[in-house]
Amino acid sequence: MICCTIVIRGFFSLKIVIFEVLIMPYTNEEGGRLNNFAAEPKVYQAAPPTKSQQRNYLVWGVAAITLVGGLLAVAFYASQAG
């Protein structure tokens, strides 16, 4: 870890902390260039939703459809009122 403190015109100091990654995957390309790439995340299999989660999805879906339907109805009737 590298730490440096910057004082700007004496009013306040800004502390910058830079974390160095100890193991950074990289490859050497032609001409001596380094090509850094991100570490791949751990892959896992998602678990299917539980009965409670399925019920919540259904409730939120119905609420969303009702809200959108109500907004469309208000927009329709407001456009016809002229």
pTM passes above 0.85:
no
Separation of alpha carbons 38 and 21, rounded Å: 11
70 is a domain residue: yes
25 is a domain residue: yes
26 is a domain residue: yes
List pLDDT tens digits, range 13-48: 555 545 444 556 667 777 777 777 766 778 889 999
40 is a domain residue: no
In this prediction, residue 55 carries a pLDDT of: 97
Structure tokens at 18: 């830079």
**Cβ(21)–Cβ(2) below 8 Å:** no
Structure tokens at 11: 């009013």
In this prediction, residue 15 carries a pLDDT of: 52
In this prediction, residue 69 carries a pLDDT of: 98
55 is a domain residue: yes
In this prediction, residue 77 carries a pLDDT of: 93
In the block, which residue shows the tokens 């050497």? 28
Separation of alpha carbons 74 and 26, rounded Å: 57
65 is a domain residue: yes
The amino acid sitting at 52 is S
Q: How many domains does the chain have?
A: 1
